[in-house]
Amino acid sequence: MQKLYFILIGSVFILSILFAIVIWRQTIKFEKKALAAKQAKEEYLKQLMLEQEEERRLAEIKLQEELQQKAENQMLQEDAAISQPDETDDNPEAKPGDHKE
């Protein structure tokens, strides 16, 4: 009876060690998968940040071009308004207050 009890204890001990080895190996596999997933995530985030930075840079360039175009158009309109002769300068009848009757 005592011999069977030691066999039972020994088999439970061996099974516990086997389960510990299986769990340890699965933990190592899980760590490798988790590390690979983390690296893939970091690479994806880097790529995403680069793309967003490029989009932001393109948007800034586009905005600057639009502002420059508006400024040029405004300057052209001001130049056109300055270069056009005033009708009241050439026509004495159109000047108010110059008429003495």
The pLDDT assigned to 38 comes to: 96
Of 43 and 80, the one with more pLDDT: 43
Burial of 67 (0-12, 13-18, 19+ CB in 10 A): exposed
pLDDT digits (tens, 9 = 90+) for 43-65: 999 999 999 999 999 999 999 99
Residues 43, 49, 54: CA angle, nearest 5 degrees: 130
pTM over 0.75: no
State the pLDDT confidence band at 17, using cuts at 50, 70 and 90: very high
Q: Where do the structural domains in the chain lie, given as residue ranges?
A: 7-79
Take residue 51 and report the two structure tokens written for it. Answer: 């793309």
Q: What share of the chain is helix, strand, coil (3-state, %, to 5)?
A: 90, 0, 10
Alpha carbon distances (Å) from 28 to 1, 23, 25, 38: 41, 9, 5, 15
